[in-house]
Amino acid sequence: MTSRQLRKYCPLSEEGRGLLKTAMDELGLSARAHDRILRVARTIADLEGSAEIRPGHVIEGISYRSLDRKLWAR
């Protein structure tokens, strides 16, 4: 998915955006990781048959990126 498609198909609510921004700062995630979390959140929303990406989907997406931050913390 290109970044334009990402903006079109993966819109976030105010709350979701806030969550993702906090996670980026806390975990020190890159812009690529940001886009990839968004894609994972989109998949999770699809699996649940939800048209919009809800905060819970974003949280699950972020949770899949927390382990590497813990294990590869320098």
Provide the binding-site residues for other proteins, judged by CB under 8 A.
1-2, 4-5, 8-9, 30, 32-33, 36-37, 39-40, 42-47, 49, 51, 60, 64-68, 71-72
Residue 10 backbone phi and psi in degrees, to 5? -125, 55
- Taking the least distance from each CB to other proteins, the nearer of 22 and 63 is 63
Residue 10 CB, shortest distance to other proteins, in Å, is 9
Taking the C-alpha atoms of residue 58 and residue 46, their distance in angstroms, rounded to an integer, is 12
Taking the C-alpha atoms of residue 42 and residue 22, their distance in angstroms, rounded to an integer, is 19
- Taking the least distance from each CB to other proteins, the nearer of 21 and 71 is 71
